[in-house]
Amino acid sequence: MINIIKKNIQNSFLKSKWNRITIVLIFALVAMVGLIVGLNNFNKPKNLAQASSLDTGFYKIHQVLASPDDQVLYVRGGGNSDGTAGIKKVDANTNTDMGVSVSYTNNTGFDMVLSQDGSKLYLILFNDVKVLNTSDLSLIASINVDSSPSGAKAVLNSDESKLYVGGTNTVNVIYPLHSKHPTT
């Protein structure tokens, strides 16, 4: 008897036009709320990364290189009102200045290239290439360049026997200290 009463109540409720419309509207409202909540969460930025900054003292940062072990950043900057530019070492984990830097004048630094083992940093300047020891940024060698690099880029070949430096209309081939210059 109870089952018959339940069935009659259900059938009569669903057969009523207004009750069916009410059920459809309730389902539509629930779906819209779910969609709005989902879209609202979709548009929120995910806090997957954090940003921090370090004032290097340079007017403009020109280049940043990471050491092979990702522990040190070499930051090349310039454009300072006094005409100086330079390179600073930054701890990549703490984003703090390591207190090691080298300066050069006339803001003529064009590029930096790091050796694969991270022991040497090649700084491409207007008429020469400075080879720096990365531990303290001390000068290892200064290599004259025949043609002004004129803002060009440089690259070491895979075995680091040659450093290619783009010039005004030429490519300079430099043989780093540990490689042998071919005889002509």
Task: Identify the pLDDT of residue 89.
Answer: 92
Q: Helix and strand tally (H, E) in the chain?
A: 2, 11
Residue 179 confidence (pLDDT) above 60: no
Whether 154 has a pLDDT exceeding 80, the answer reads: yes
What average pLDDT does range 108-124 have in this prediction? 88
Strand 154-156 vs strand 120-124: parallel, antiparallel, or unpaired? Answer: unpaired
Amino acid at residue number 140: I
Structure tokens at 165: 């430096």
Instruction: Supply φ then ψ for residue 8, to 5 degrees.
Output: -65, -40
